[in-house]
Amino acid sequence: MRVLLSAVVACALCVGGCASTTYRPFESRSDGIVNGKGGTQTVQEGMEVWNNGDPPRRYKVLGFIDDERPGDAKSMSRLFGDVIKQAREVGGQALIQVRSQSQVTGYQSTDSAPAQAYGGSTSPGMATAAAVPVRKHKAQFMVVRYLD
């Protein structure tokens, strides 16, 4: 039973462990041109990422990137790289972060087991188990191209 449960958990983590970065073009009756007001930004891999406000200049909205991934450190370390790559492929020069949220979707635990050290003066003990939260992270970015 324990082997079956471990296999089910492993499969669920593999399926749920995939990142999804999807671009959707912006469509409008207007031209999609905005006169930005300003905000705060960082530069990630050579591209401006505006995370509070927008660029203080004219820009055209090209589309939106929706990203969903596990919230673990390894996956999150690739977030901006994946999103920036997608933005550059469609001609984007900057990103405006529209939203970012992370939630705990469950916990992954490890089993405890007896531990014994031989050859020393250590007495037998019990290894401890840990419950690690499993997170899901969702973010949305607006892809823009500067006009001036």
Q: Quickly tell me which residue has 């970012």 as its tokens.
A: 100
Report pTM. Answer: 0.71
Q: Per residue in 2-43, pLDDT tens? A: 444 344 344 444 444 588 999 999 998 888 899 999 999 999
CA distances from 10 to 76, 92, 110, 117 (A): 20, 37, 13, 30
Domain ranges (residues) in the chain: 17-103+130-146
Q: What is the pLDDT of residue 73?
A: 84
Q: Is the pLDDT of residue 95 over 80?
A: yes
Look up residue 47 and give its amino acid: M
What is the tens place of the pLDDT at every residue in 107-143?
777 666 665 656 555 566 666 677 777 778 999 999 9
The residue-averaged pLDDT of 45-51 equals 97
130 Cβ contact partners less than 8 Å away, ≥ 6 residues apart: 109, 110
Residue 70 Ramachandran class (φ > 0 left, ψ -120 to 50 alpha, else beta)? beta
Mean pLDDT of 81-100: 97
